[in-house]
Amino acid sequence: MRHNLSKLSGLAVACVIAISAGEYRSSPSVAAMSPSATLTIVTVNNPQMIDMEKLTPEFTKETGIAVNYVTLPENTLREKVTNDVATGGGQFDLATVGTYEVPIWAKNGWLDNLDDKFAQLPPGDAQKYDLDDVLPSVRKGLSYQGHLYALPFYGESSMTYYNKALFKEAGLSMPEHPTWAQIASFADKLTDKSKRRYGIVLRGLPGWGEMGAPLTTVINTFGGDWFDMNWEPQLESPATKKAIAFYLDLLRRDGPPGSESAGYTECETLFAQGSAAIWVDATAAAGAVSDPRTSKVSSDIGFAYSPVAVTPKGSHWLWAWSLAMEASSKHKAESMRFLTWATSKEYIDLVARERGWNNVPPGTRLSTYQNPHYKALPYSAIVLSSVQSADPSNATLNKVPYVGVQYVGIPEFQGIGTRTTQDLAGVLTGQTSLDEALQTAQVRTERTMREAGYLK
């Protein structure tokens, strides 16, 4: 079976890091640093990444190492970093990657084994970092053949956000474990387009990691899947088609205009401005929508588990934006220093002091969820339960040959998922019918899988 690993030109994600090192007077693990080293961080504009950039002067003050950041749109980041790591260009030292990329890139030898790096640290440094404190489900997702290849900056599942004030005004009550049928009913009742108030906001922006992520959880919980055990695409199967039709119809009926251009950031903004009553998306947004500095409706936000339909399997995803060291990095000592700083317990404490517990990186460390300040947050228990229970190896009603909840863990999926969601965006805009879009996607995906060697 040939998987065309050489054709990865747009894979997932990338925050990328780099540092200009000055003198450091302490740990032997930093003794090999070059005073002329320069690292560059390419990052997405998620709130947690923005906080990291703002707090990096603390790292520079502690170590003498300066850091430069470049912020790009998520899809652009994915392409740039994938091209760099695949060609061994060495443009970046640390890349922010997702759970999807790590095992694929590790298999190709594009990332350094971090178990080896930790083994080289002084015992006191390794003990202080405390790898055992990192959530087991997240560590497993960032490993390949039992070895760790990335450290999580923040982890997430998905959940339901809702505006309690709008629900109360309409005499509605959100259950802790809603169904998609209930969500649709609520959205229908709460939509008032004359007031520019929308019952729901969901990602409609094309991209396997944009619209493709929440849409795939809907496919899962409706009993559908992307492929059967023979790698035959299932885009026109009854369950998958029903799920996709439900998602698109709900957006067209109760979503804002221009939904085909709304990704994670746009959806978060609309919800935080009070323009939408419901939002189903990443748990990582809980802090931002609860913070009065970033949300106009912070005091009205309610939280519930991700909706289900036919099965709870795959109804909520597992993801971690993580820092990984490129094998072609020229500054590995400096990279390891920053990597362990930005994912440490001490960094979480720093964010808590400077930005409040609402804004600490979620979904990574057990100690965060044991802290009484964090446990008191209204979404803490839902997030922890969702992250711990998401199972990428058992995310569909039917048995499938792939791993992944909101994605299919093969290199070809970044292209398949992106092109398919581009077709579906055409349905949102009325340029094509659902039947035409799915037929096109089915034929093209079959061709891709045959060329890659999955189908004979």
Alpha helix stretches (DSSP H) within 282-433: 286-289, 332-342, 345-355, 366-370, 372-375, 380-389, 413-428
Cα three-residue angle 53-59-62, rounded to 5 degrees: 160
Per the prediction, the chain carries an average pLDDT of 89
- The secondary structure of residue 358, as a DSSP letter, is G
- pLDDT values of the chain reduced to their tens digit, one per residue, 456 residues: 433 333 333 333 333 333 232 322 233 333 356 555 677 777 777 778 889 989 989 988 888 888 888 777 766 777 887 887 788 877 788 888 899 999 999 999 999 999 999 999 988 999 999 999 999 999 999 999 999 999 999 999 999 999 999 999 999 999 999 999 999 999 999 999 999 999 999 999 999 999 999 999 999 999 999 999 999 999 999 999 999 999 999 999 999 999 999 999 999 999 999 999 999 999 999 999 999 998 999 999 999 999 999 999 999 999 999 999 989 888 888 889 999 999 999 999 999 999 999 899 999 999 999 999 999 999 999 999 999 999 999 999 999 999 999 999 999 999 999 999 999 999 999 999 999 999 999 999 999 999 999 998
Contact 302, 176 (CB under 8 A): no
3-state secondary structure 148-185: ECCEEEEEECEEEEEEHHHHHHHCCCCCCCCEHHHHHH
pLDDT of residue 435: 98
Give every CB contact of residue 322 below 8 A, 6+ residues apart in sequence: 96, 97, 98, 99, 102, 142, 150, 151, 152, 153, 343
pLDDT of residue 235: 98
d(CA 360, CA 343): 11
Of residues 372, 392, 370, the one with CA closest to residue 317: 392
Model confidence over 113-155: pLDDT tens digits?
A: 999 999 999 889 999 999 999 999 999 999 999 999 999 999 9
pLDDT of residue 76: 78
DSSP string, 3-42: --GGG-SS-S---EE-EE-----S-GGGTT--TT---EEE
d(CA 180, CA 184): 6
Other C-beta atoms closer than 10 Å to the C-beta of 233 total 25
Of residues 386, 395, 356, 391, the one with CA closest to residue 374: 356
pLDDT of residue 5: 31
pTM as predicted: 0.87
Contact 212, 417 (CB under 8 A): yes
Cα three-residue angle 309-198-205, rounded to 5 degrees: 70
Contact 289, 296 (CB under 8 A): no
pLDDT of residue 156: 96
Of residues 153, 223, 155, the one with CA closest to residue 390: 155
For the chain, what's the residue count?
456
- The secondary structure of residue 192, as a DSSP letter, is B
Contact 205, 260 (CB under 8 A): yes
Model confidence over 166-184: pLDDT tens digits?
A: 999 999 999 999 999 999 9
